[in-house]
Amino acid sequence: MTHKDQHIILKTEDLSIGYQSKKTKTIVASHINLELNKGELIGLVGANGIGKSTFLRTLTNVQNTISGEIQIHNKNLSDFSSNELAKTMSLVLTEPIASKNLSVFELVALGRQPYTNWVGNLTATDVAIINRALEQTNIVELKSKNCFELSDGQLQKVMIARALAQDTDLIILDEPTTHLDMYHKAYILKLLQRLVKETQKTILFSSHEIDLAIQLCDTMIVMTKEHIVSDTPNNLISNGTFEVLFPNDLIAFDKNTKSFRVKK
């Protein structure tokens, strides 16, 4: 094992993703070869309907692979038990939580489920980890509020705290900035960047905020119809990956401002 291998959290080998039923097979993307490294903030971008969700659902074992392999810590994803996986990977999903009638503390505490006993009692260690997650996401003062009292931005922070409390090497967020205003979009992504630095976790998120992602991510995964590439934002800019991201009749990528501009 080389030094570099030890830093790889997740690796895909010739992965094909899509939907498979008895009769039909719909391949959304194939030949995906990616590596997610320890302590990196990774942004996944791509046009609507390109398969970002399918990709994330496959990585998180919600959906089966069509072919190829996903390895986490050099172990096949399918070989993980559900509890083992819960200790390795935590999620923040786009779907709303079923009940908002929980206090913030109770909700974050649910992140400890893979570690707690049969009735879910928290040990002193669990409480310490929960409190640390609350501090890291700046929501200590919301601790005893109920979730229905929170704004969308606050609730997103709580969901991130819950993922942190799950104490996993990898956190995957599906479009964490939807429904948020410009300030809170930046706030959440900046928070993720800080968490990566502080905790050395690997955080992968999908987003439509390409401009922000370029500024904040260590690595970006760009999904287009032709291929999926992963590289540093600067390399992706210089080799022109963003130019082919969208149809070019309305918006164009401007290399100088590192952002998309509406065509005049």
Partner 1 sequence: MTPSRTYSRPFIALIIVLIICFFGNISLGSVQIPFQDVFNSLIGNSDHESWQYIIQNYRLPKAFTAILVGSGLGISGLLMQTLFRNPLAGPFVLGISSGASLGVALVILGSGLFGGVLASVLISKWTVVIAASVGSFLVLLAVMIVSSRVRDTMAILIIGLMFGSITAAVVSVLSYFSSAEQLQQYIFWGFGSLGNLSWNELLIFFVIYCFGILMTITSIKALNTFLLGENYAKSLGLNIKQSRFIIIIATSLLAGTITAFAGPIAFIGLAIPHMTRQIFNTSNHKILLPAVFLFGAIVMLICDSIAQLPTSDYTLPINAITSLIGAPVVIWLLVRQRKMIF
41-46 vs 219-223, strand pairing mode = parallel
Q: Determine if 98 is a binding residue for partner 1 (CB under 8 A).
A: yes
- How far is residue 138's CA from residue 18's CA, in Å, rounded to a whole number? 38
* Residue-wise burial string across 93-122, b where 16 or more C-beta atoms lie within 10 A, e elsewhere: beeeeeeeebebbebbbebbebbeeeeeeb
Closest separation between CB of residue 97 and partner 1, Å?
A: 5
Between helix 124-136 and helix 152-165 the angle, nearest 10°, is 140
Q: Determine if 96 is a binding residue for partner 1 (CB under 8 A).
A: yes
Q: Determine if 120 is a binding residue for partner 1 (CB under 8 A).
A: yes
Per-position DSSP letters for 160-197, written without gaps between them: HHHHHHT--SEEEEESTTTT--HHHHHHHHHHHHHHHH
Closest separation between CB of residue 119 and partner 1, Å?
A: 6
Q: Determine if 99 is a binding residue for partner 1 (CB under 8 A).
A: yes
Task: From 113-121, 178-186, 204-212, 237-245, give the range in contact with partner 1 by CB under 8 A.
Answer: 113-121
Closer by beta carbon to partner 1, 156 or else 230: 156
Q: Determine if 205 is a binding residue for partner 1 (CB under 8 A).
A: no
Task: From 119-127, 219-227, 228-236, 238-246, give the range in contact with partner 1 by CB under 8 A.
Answer: 119-127
Nearest Cα to 238, choosing from 256, 221, 251? 256
Binding mask 36-75 toward partner 1 (x if CB under 8 A, else -) reads ------------------------x-x-------------
Place of tokens 């570690």: 115
With CB under 8 A as the contact rule, the residue among 59, 66, 105, 191 that binds partner 1 is 105
With CB under 8 A as the contact rule, the residue among 7, 38, 87, 132 that binds partner 1 is 87
- Read off the tokens for 27: 């391949």
The number of CA neighbours under 13 Å toward the Cβ of 164 is: 29
With CB under 8 A as the contact rule, the residue among 102, 186, 229, 251 that binds partner 1 is 102
Closer by beta carbon to partner 1, 11 or else 112: 112
- How far is residue 175's CA from residue 185's CA, in Å, rounded to a whole number? 10
Task: From 22-30, 108-116, 199-207, 252-260, give the range in contact with partner 1 by CB under 8 A.
Answer: 108-116
| CA–CA distances in Å: residue 9 to residues 34, 39, 105 | 11, 9, 29
Cross-strand pairs, 11: 35, 71
The number of CA neighbours under 13 Å toward the Cβ of 159 is: 24
Closest separation between CB of residue 96 and partner 1, Å?
A: 8
Task: From 14-22, 87-95, 231-239, 249-257, give the range in contact with partner 1 by CB under 8 A.
Answer: 87-95
Closest separation between CB of residue 81 and partner 1, Å?
A: 8
Residues in contact with partner 1, total (CB under 8 A)? 41
- How far is residue 115's CA from residue 196's CA, in Å, rounded to a whole number? 23
Q: Which residues bind partner 1 (CB under 8 A)?
A: 60, 62, 81-87, 89-91, 93, 95-99, 101-103, 105-107, 109-111, 113-114, 116, 118-122, 127, 143-144, 146, 148, 166
